Amino acid sequence: MGTPAPLAAALRYAHRHRARFLDDVVELAAIPSVSTQPAHRSDVRRAARLLARRLRRAGLQDARVVATGGHPVVTAGWGNRPGRPTLLIYGHYDVQPAEPLAAWSSPPFRPTRRGDLLVGRGVSDNKGQLLTHVAAVESWLASVGRLPVNVRCVFEGEEEAGSPHLPAFLDRHWARWQPDVAVVSDTRMRDATTPALTVSLRGSLNLELTVNGATTHVHSGTYGGALADPARELCRIVAGLHLADGTPLPQLRWGTRALTESARRVSARSGPSDNELLALARAHRPGPGTVEPGWSAYERTTIRPACVITGLQAGYTGPGRQSIVPSSATARINVRLAPFQDPAVVEEALRQHLRATARAGVRVRLRRLSAAPPVELPTRGPAVEAAVAALRQGFGRRPVLLRSGGTIPVVAELARRRDLPVVLMGFALPDDRMHAPGERLSISCFHRGTRTAVAFLHELGARFPG
């Protein structure tokens, strides 16, 4: 079966303009749109405006930067034809903090090309992947003059902050958009040549634990031994979040459900081996207390909950030293939730545990920074078929079905509305170092991703009843 002429024209356009599409990634990734750092507030807005200009250049004249209670959402749309399906394209133009800066070999916000790699914060997560869809829209409109489907773009600026304002935003616009399917490109391929559809995401519960002792730092000689030591108490509490065998507290596992044996076999076939997963993290062996009989590393990171300490701070750890009992200590805790767990239930269970194990003499506070539920997506249906066909067009191979340990808050929000089919069709590589220093994008995957996005519009139009 040959490629239909309009699709062929759009693909040709995408190929001819691929260098410029990559330039767009460089330009957008040069803006430090770190949504969680107040100092970058105006950079986030600047990135939103640039993205809106790109959408207009792609032919979406109604592109707008829409204010929310936090950072703005960039929206744009095309088409309202009743006989056609409506596709919601979600992406996020905000990025993780770049710290620690010293660990980057080139400045994080000066995207730098190294062979097939573009290195910079956000190039993969999510600016590069998001822009494949913008490039696809332009390729269709500039070559064919129309899109095969109606399109609604929703590009937010708060994904890395847990998407606090997105649910209300979706509520406000849902009735007008009435999407039939959604696509999100913010996930990984199996490897450089094997594309993947992601079929589940873990949820995420971000907490800040603070222990307060005296009202000020005091001398560790004069008072050490009689006074509350908040850092020590914090360590006791954090250590108590895992059992002696290294598994998380039962409370952190409330609501998990066993997969069927056949589902586990499917997972095991397509996912990385233990050694492969460790190699991707550039680790030589599993961490202490992370080997659990009966569960592979891939399963431990995708269908089992995990509790990670993402930050610790107390007292003074700068050059030299300070002989003090610090007045307070803080831990940041990131609980990743397995499919079917409820973040609210887990949080409440954790609070009960803290109350039950509290000791007098310090004040302990647990603050929720964000919460997003896990999702388990359907693996069949026209949306999945369209994605499979598009990925074959883009990469020349049928995708595998993968489970992700990451979280994209919007996906649960979308999926719970009218059971909207959500396609997670990502072009990142497993070693793209998302969230880490040296984040990078495979340029060839970016180009193939653009081809895939071009083809996806066609395949959806061909398959969907609308």
Residues 160-199 that bind a second copy (CB under 8 A): 160-161, 188
Contact mark string toward a second copy, 255..294, x via CB under 8 A: -------------------x--xx--xxx-xxxxxx----
Token pair of 174 as six digits: 């849902």
CB of 404 to a second copy, least distance (A): 7
Which of 238, 249, 263, 420 is the binder for a second copy (CB under 8 A)? 238
- φ, ψ (nearest 5 deg) of residue 222: -65, -35
Amino acid at 339: P
**Cβ distance to a second copy smaller for residue 231 or 390:** 231
* 369 near a second copy, judged by CB under 8 A: yes
Q: Report the alpha-carbon angle 40-426-42, nearest 5.
A: 10
Among positions 79, 107, 382, 437, the unique one binding a second copy when judged by CB under 8 A: 437
Residue with tokens 């056949």: 262
Site for a second copy contains 332 (CB under 8 A): yes
Residues 201 and 424: beta-carbon distance below 8 Å? yes
Distances (CA, A) of 399 to 40, 47, 131, 402, 427: 37, 32, 21, 9, 11
In contact, 394 and 449? CB cutoff 8 Å? yes
In the complex, minimum distance from the CB of residue 40 to a second copy, in angstroms, rounded to a whole number: 9
- 204-226 as b/e, with b when 16 or more CB fall inside 10 Å? bbbbebbbbbbeebbebeeeeee
- Which region holds residue 127: left if phi is over 0, alpha if psi is between -120 and 50, else beta? alpha
User: 215 or 419: whose CB is closer to a second copy?
Assistant: 215
Number of residues that bind a second copy (CB under 8 A): 107
Measure the CA–CA gap between 437 and 259, rounded to whole angstroms: 34
- 218 is a site residue for a second copy (CB under 8 A): yes
Of residues 54 through 113, those in contact with a second copy by CB under 8 A are 96-97, 99-100, 103
- Cβ closer to a second copy: 229 or 413? 229
For residue 343, the Cα-to-chain-centroid distance in whole angstroms is 17
Task: Tell which one of 86, 150, 407, 452 touches a second copy (CB under 8 A).
Answer: 407
For residue 308, the one-letter residue type is V
* Residue 296 CB, nearest approach to a second copy (Å): 9
Cβ atoms of residues 302 and 200 within 8 Å:
yes
Is residue 134 at the binding interface for a second copy, with CB under 8 A as the rule?
Answer: no
96-105, long-range: CB < 8 A, 24+ apart: 96/34, 96/36, 96/121, 96/122, 96/125, 96/160, 96/434, 96/435, 97/34, 97/36, 97/37, 98/32, 98/34, 98/437, 100/437, 103/437, 103/438, 104/437, 104/438, 105/438
Stretch that binds a second copy, among 31-39, 42-50, 70-78, 81-89 (CB under 8 A): 31-39
Among positions 85, 128, 326, 426, the unique one binding a second copy when judged by CB under 8 A:
326
Nearer to a second copy, 267 or 404 (CB): 404
Q: Using the rule CB under 8 A, is 26 a contact of a second copy?
A: no
Q: CB of residue 287 vs a second copy: minimum separation in angstroms?
A: 3
In the complex, least distance from residue 126 CB atom to a second copy, rounded to whole angstroms: 13
Q: Which stretch binds a second copy (CB under 8 A): 191-199, 391-399, 403-411, 449-457?
A: 403-411
CB of 335 to a second copy, least distance (A): 9
The piece of 42-50, 171-179, 239-247, 444-452 that touches a second copy (CB under 8 A) is: 239-247
